[in-house]
Amino acid sequence: MGEIQLQYDINENEFKISNKEVSPTKRSSSNYDSFKKKLYTARDDSNYCDFCKCFSPILEATHIIDIDLHNELRTEFKKDRTLPISVNDANNGLLLCSTCHAYYDHKNSFITMKEDGKILVDKVLHINQIHRIMNNSYVSWSDQIGFDSSFPTPSLLRLRNKWKISSRKKLLNDLLHEYDERSESEEEHIVKKVKTSNKTSNHRDKNNN
């Protein structure tokens, strides 16, 4: 997914996803439709979001491990079954409403799911009642995790979370680095300003003498 902007809607008392969201790549329609059909079949054609449990006539098929990460890790995990054979296997997917999908894929991991199916929601979203209720709840199929081939394995969910935590740490490190650079720049500016001030002061003293 592309860059997501969170905007606070004061009228509805909640954070919302900006409409400026743009997907960087086009999906293969046939692959996506096939992937979505597998997920609907596994959930008995349910139209309820896996996370918020809200009814939605149009749910979005969401990858746990997306195609880019799958390609990066395929060599490393070639000898075991941590990764799905295909990113479009049912055990690599979730059926989510558009809002939960955006929060789940966001670089700040506003919504995550633990290996036992527990849903965790970042405190920044707790202002919304639905998100407060979601926090620490479980997906309806948590008892199928690791037992039914149509649902994720604990190891796959651990891999997803490890990747997202790593991404978040990198983001925080980048922000800290940016802050340090800015601080250094500001400090240099202050030092330069002080030196200039001192030179001016010394020059003024000489003239007075």
pTM across the whole model: 0.66
Q: Tokens for 207, please give them.
A: 């003239």
pLDDT band, residue 159 (cuts 50/70/90): confident
Q: Region of 117 please: left (phi>0), alpha (psi -120 to 50) or beta.
A: left
Instruction: Give the lowest-confidence range in 53-67, 94-108, 158-172, 193-207.
Output: 193-207
What span, in angstroms and rounded, lies between the C-alpha atoms of 12 and 195?
Answer: 53
Q: Tokens for 205, please give them.
A: 């003293």
Task: Give the tens place of pLDDT for each residue, 111-152.
Answer: 999 999 999 999 999 988 999 999 999 999 999 998 998 999
pLDDT of residue 68: 74
pLDDT band, residue 10 (cuts 50/70/90): very low
Q: Is the pLDDT of residue 76 over 70?
A: no
Mean pLDDT of 22-29: 47
pLDDT of residue 39: 93
Beta strands in 83-176 (DSSP E): 93-96, 111-113, 119-121
Mean pLDDT of 17-43: 68
Nearest to 121 by CA among 24, 9, 14: 14
The mean pLDDT of the chain is 74
pLDDT of residue 19: 42
What span, in angstroms and rounded, lies between the C-alpha atoms of 10 and 204?
Answer: 57
